[in-house]
Amino acid sequence: MNYFHLFANGDDARGFILDVEDFYAAFNRFGVCAAATGVAVLSFSIEDSHPHALLYGLESDCVKFKELYETTTLHYIVSNRGSAGGVVFYLELYPIADEDYLRNVAAYTIVQPTKDGKRVMPYDYLWGTGSMYFRPENHIPIWSVKADGSLSQPRRMDSLTVREQKSLLRSKREVPGNWLVCNGFLLPSNYVDISHFEKIYQTHNCFRYYCSAGKKRDAEIVATMADSRGVMLEDLEARKICSETVRSQFGFRDVRTLNTGQRLSLARTLRAGYRISFRQLATLVHLPEPEIRKYLR
pLDDT tens sequence across 158-183:
999 999 999 999 998 999 999 999 99
pLDDT of residue 103: 97
CB atoms < 10 A from the CB of 130, how many? 25
Percent of the chain clearing pLDDT 90 (strictly above): 64
5-19 pLDDT, tens digit per residue, is: 999 876 666 788 999
- Burial (CB count within 10 angstroms: exposed 0-12, middle 13-18, buried 19+), residue 100: exposed
SS3 state at 43: strand
Which of 100-114, 117-131, 236-250, 281-295 has the lowest average pLDDT? 281-295
* Of the listed ranges 57-66, 183-192, 225-234, the one predicted with least confidence: 225-234
274 or 60, which is more confident: 60
Question: Confidence class of residue 225 from pLDDT cuts 50, 70 and 90?
Answer: confident
Residues 130 and 123: beta-carbon distance below 8 Å:
yes
Q: What is the mean pLDDT of residues 191-212?
A: 96
* DSSP one-letter string for 66-102: HHHHHHHHHHHHHHHHSS-TT----EEEEEE--HHHH
In this predicted structure, the answer to whether residue 88 has a pLDDT above a threshold of 90 is: no
Q: How many CB atoms lie within 10 A of CB 23?
A: 17
Average pLDDT, the chain: 91
- Using left for φ > 0, alpha for ψ between -120 and 50, and beta otherwise, residue 45 falls in beta
- Express as a percent the part of the chain with pLDDT over 70: 98
Collapsing DSSP to helix, strand or coil, 215 comes out as helix
Is residue 186 over pLDDT 90? yes
User: For 191-197, what is the mean pLDDT?
Assistant: 98
Kind and range of the H or E element at 47? none
Report, as an integer, the average pLDDT of 49-65: 94
pLDDT band of residue 297 (cuts 50, 70, 90) is: low
Q: Where are the alpha helices (DSSP H) in 82-214?
A: 99-115, 162-169, 194-201, 204-211
Band of residue 233 on the pLDDT scale cut at 50, 70, 90: confident
Rounded to whole angstroms, the Cα distance separating 140 from 281 reads 47
Torsion of CA 268, 269, 271, 276, to 10 degrees: -130
* Residue 291 confidence class, pLDDT cut points 50, 70, 90: confident
| Residues 161 and 167: beta-carbon distance below 8 Å | no
In this structure, is the dihedral angle defined by the CA atoms of residues 8, 11, 13 and 18, taken in order, positive or negative?
positive
